Chains A and B, each alone.
Chain A
Amino acid sequence: MSERNQPMREALRMALREEMSRDERVFVMGLEVGQWQGTHRVTRGLLEEFGARRVRDTPISEMAIAGAAVGAAMAGLRPVAEIMTINFAFLALDAIVNHAAKIHYMFGGQFTVPLVIRAATGWGNQATATHSHTPEPIFAHFPGLFVGCPSNATDAKGMLKAAIRDENPVLFTEFIALYSKPAPVPDDPDFVLPIGKADIKRAGKDVTIVTFGRGVEWSLNAAEALAKDGVQCEVVDMRWLRPLDIATVIASFKKTNRCVVVEECLPMYSFGSEIAAQIQEKAFDYMDAPVKRVSAMDVPLPYAAEIELMALPNTQKVIDAVKEVL
């Protein structure tokens, strides 16, 4: 087994190809996944390799994509449904929340729903208000549904394979900004990263930075810059918003006694809110400073690049937040 640098989209494609090859029940369906080769080119070449039975272009019918994936999964297939961007998943919210997440429970465990819904996520590139959501916390609100979001190509492969192999429904979001970024990707077809396990991307003793997805990059850059001033940040990449590996956060916090949460999501009722609440519940006696949150600003995202970027988190905002809690 070896590994080589690959962009995240290719790591994701490798995960899909490997899982489709090992299990005939795994198939891909969604908007423009076949003939168009995938909006974000994740599914490029899969139609040619696996045929139209297993790589299914769908109508622009988000409710039916998610709902049919639920039905197919209940009946014994393992669908990987792509909803072009997470913004369109709002149309499918009922199928995801009321059916994917609840069917195992509300029928007393008679049915399982082993499906993965993939969607591109994230703000930026002047995509404007309706195409600029990072709404993972909305989906992570509901018991019954796992929510994962990788921060790099390596994790993307291992996490997506875990999602496909799991018996529970998974919403899997992929930052558009990360699709082209390379990282070392193992070619081991059984490289699977456990669901619900966070990863410490950098060790440190002074401040815990809790983040996921694209926030990891800003946090690591901030940690690098702060290290020059002698501040050692520990960067915890949660990887999964549900199940939430709060134990790893608390263990880190008990060492550093300070925390900054970095997310691209909106600030109200969010990832940061949840982490801050759980830290004060579980580690109040260890707190040397309030938990500081770096989020998107609490506004819809505008078009003009100058003001769009003002609303978004970045490395400097993370550095400033760390300095505030020191």
Chain B
Amino acid sequence: MATQTATLDREKLLDWYYQIVLIRHFENKCDELYREKRITGVYLHLYSGHEAVGVGALAALTLDDHVITAYRDHGIALARGMDPKVAMAEMMGKRTGSSGGKGGSMHLAQRDLNFWGGYAIVGGHLPLATGIALKVRYMEEDAVVLCFIGDGATNNGYFHEALNMSAVWDLPVVWLIENNLVGMGTRVEDSSGQPELSKRAIAYGMKNGGRIDGQNVIEVYHAVSDAVKYAKKRGPVLLEALTYRFRGHGVSDRSYDVRDDLVSELKVWQERDPILVLRSHLVEQFEGVESELEKRDQEAAAIVEAAVKFAEESPAPTFEDLIANVYVGRRYDE
């Protein structure tokens, strides 16, 4: 590990730090706006606690690669490069949002980033990843599909069918499980016969990329980089990043306000907050970096404030938007 980290330069690590704190600020702001009813959708799933997984994994890709995820998608969108203004406008259901205000929190996407979206049916995006990877192989492109999977999604049929198909066809997919130990409220060990989820790879004759520390962005980066190389050349890899969500399943989940056992667990994980883990690494490696970190932190906070302002000043969609895009090249009622 030490030899690998030595290859990462200061600027790259500082950029990752910036991305992680940007996501944290963005999510804290979303939570605040939701409570104030300035974001009004019923669903809002925060990425707080997971940031090192998204940032580290996406740092291992190029823009020619492909990304797809589930509904906890804000952090993935930002780490992939979506403008926070456009993401925040989508949260608020504005015309300037990434999906024109028609997708909301769970359906961020950006075509020109090969970010194929957040999906809200558990497991439903997995075969889409298989299909995108099929296109890569079919056209003999040098690219990979990175598919984020919640631990809960490993137990419905989509997981089995999509992973098996990717293995049969040797498709270039990195299947990355974000194991935050719990579905909405059911623990992984109460829902999975094999709670070490990366071992599922064995059943498909697929490369088992193992279990990694999802709080450590550097470890995630190296593990996903290796998986990407393997997947492009040989076929799918299944990786499992252990992480923890610092908030409820969605913003309306108040378990952490009422359950002492969860609060105790959260405290333990907060000691391994991805921000702290990277921060202490940077401070140890680079003398006098603290002021840089402070600067990035302030920048990120300001970007989020500007995003909120942009979103609130943006227009709402119109009736024409309501009826647009039902079909390609045809009116909805034609």
Contact = CB atoms under 8 A, between A and B. Distances in A.
Contacts of A168: 327-330
B92 to A, nearest CB: 14
Contacts of B136: 75
B162 A68 contact: yes
Nearest to A56: B169
A104 B117 contact: no
Interface stretch (A93-101, A215-223, A227-235): A93-101
* Interface range for A: 35 or more
Given A61-B165, A94-B121, A108-B325, A72 B132 contact: yes
Interface in A59-84: 59, 61-77, 79
B206 to A, nearest CB: 14
Contact of B124 (A98, A107, A109): A98
Interface stretch (B101-109, B185-193, B259-267): B101-109
B110 interface: yes
Given A59-B165, A59-B168, A67-B128, A108 B135 contact: no
A59 B130 CA distance: 13
Interface in B131-160: 131-136, 138-139, 157-158, 160
Contact of A106 (B66, B99, B134, B157): B99
A132 interface: no
A67 B127 contact: yes
B32 interface: no
B131 A72 contact: yes
B111 A110 contact: yes
Contacts of B129: 71
B18 to A, nearest CB: 27
Interface in A108-137: 108-112
A19 to B, nearest CB: 16
Interface in A145-192: 146, 166-168
A70 B128 contact: yes
A35 to B, nearest CB: 14
Interface string B92-128: 0000011111110001011100001101010010111
Contact of B158 (A59, A63, A73): A63
Nearest to A242: B327
A243 B330 contact: yes
Contacts of B119: 99
Contacts of B63: none
A275 to B, nearest CB: 17
A58 interface: yes
Given A63-B158, A167-B329, A71 B131 contact: yes
Contacts of A94: 121, 124
B330 A72 contact: no
Nearest to B324: A109
Contacts of B132: 71-72, 74-75
Contacts of B98: 107-108
Nearest to A109: B325
Nearest to B108: A107
A27 B110 CA distance: 26
A71 B130 contact: yes
Contact of A104 (B126, B128, B133, B328): B328
24 contacts: A27-B138, A53-B138, A56-B169, A64-B126, A64-B127, A70-B128, A72-B134, A72-B138, A75-B66, A75-B131, A75-B134, A75-B135, A77-B134, A98-B121, A105-B325, A106-B99, A106-B102, A107-B107, A108-B97, A108-B101, A108-B102, A109-B324, A168-B329, A168-B330
Shortest 10 CB-CB contacts between residues of A and residues of B: A71-B131, A67-B127, A108-B100, A64-B161, A71-B128, A75-B135, A68-B131, A61-B161, A167-B328, A72-B131
Given A106-B107, A143-B327, 17 more contacts: A63-B161, A64-B126, A68-B134, A70-B127, A71-B134, A72-B134, A72-B135, A75-B131, A77-B138, A94-B121, A98-B124, A108-B99, A108-B103, A109-B325, A166-B328, A168-B328, A168-B330
Interface of B: 66, 97-103, 107, 109-111, 116-117, 119, 121, 124, 126-136, 138-139, 157-158, 160-162, 164-165, 168-169, 324-330, 332, 334
